[in-house]
Amino acid sequence: MPRHHAVLALLAGKPAHGYEFKNGFGQAAGDQWGGLDIGHLHQTLERLSRDGLIESQRQPQPVKPDRLVHRITAAGRAALGHWLSEPSQRVRGYRDDFFLKLMAAEHAGDRAVLDGVLRRQRAYLLKELRSLADARAQSPSPVDALLITAAELHARADLGVVDAAEQNLAAATSVTAATGQPAADADGAPGTAAPEPAAG
């Protein structure tokens, strides 16, 4: 999982304790990724320790409670190197909630329903692009700026999908609503109607 490897990457530089991870991750990855939740971080550290990828040592402090300092092991460096050597893959492919809404709206055969889905999705994406432009104006770190660029490119690509859905699905839905028959398929032939039952 990405955050497991992010922790290993931070430890590859030097040993660290819990709150150093939290601050170090925020500085390295930027605000757009989101911070490390301290509860989830402890679970991650426990799992990495159990898998032999890190080792931990308790260090006493004069006033505060003892702190646990973690360092990466040879196995951890090997796991980090293996992760870096592989291409990143889409976790969920191209399936998401928007495509399910498109399916539902197209299945309903109501142009107004489909138009509403597309209109709201376009408005959401345009708002997201404005928010990303505001984030870029805050002079983010180089990594954070790259993450903002990636998010902008994804949002613009999603706007292209909305445009394509408007051109393809909306036209088909209009034909279905007007005639009660399926729209023409890709080669221009109308959908095949079910055969009439034979007379008894």
**Among 85, 105, 139, which residue terminates a domain?**
85
Measured CA to CA in angstroms, residue 84 lies from 19, 81, 95, 115, 140 at distances of 25, 5, 26, 43, 24
| pLDDT confidence of residue 38 | 73
On whether both 52 and 6 belong to a single domain, the answer is yes
pLDDT tens-place string over residues 60-117 = 877 777 788 899 999 999 999 998 888 777 666 667 788 888 888 887 778 888 899 9
Asked if residue 101 is part of any domain, the answer here is yes
- The residue range of the domain holding 12 is 2-85
Q: How many distinct structural domains can be found in the chain?
A: 2
How far, CA to CA in Å, does 130 sit from each of 117, 118, 126, 148, 152?
20, 18, 6, 11, 10
Helix axes 2-13, 18-29, angle to 10 degrees: 100
Q: CA-CA distances (angstroms) from residue 13 to 9, 41, 111, 163?
A: 7, 18, 57, 46
Query: Helix or strand or coil: residue 54?
Result: strand
pLDDT tens-digit map of 15-40: 888 777 767 676 666 555 556 667 77
| Domain co-membership, 125 together with 154 | yes
pLDDT top residue among 44 and 64: 44
**Residues 130-144 as b or e (16 or more Cβ within 10 Å = b):** eebeebeeeebeeeb
In terms of DSSP H, where are the helices of 51-141? Answer: 74-85, 97-108, 111-136
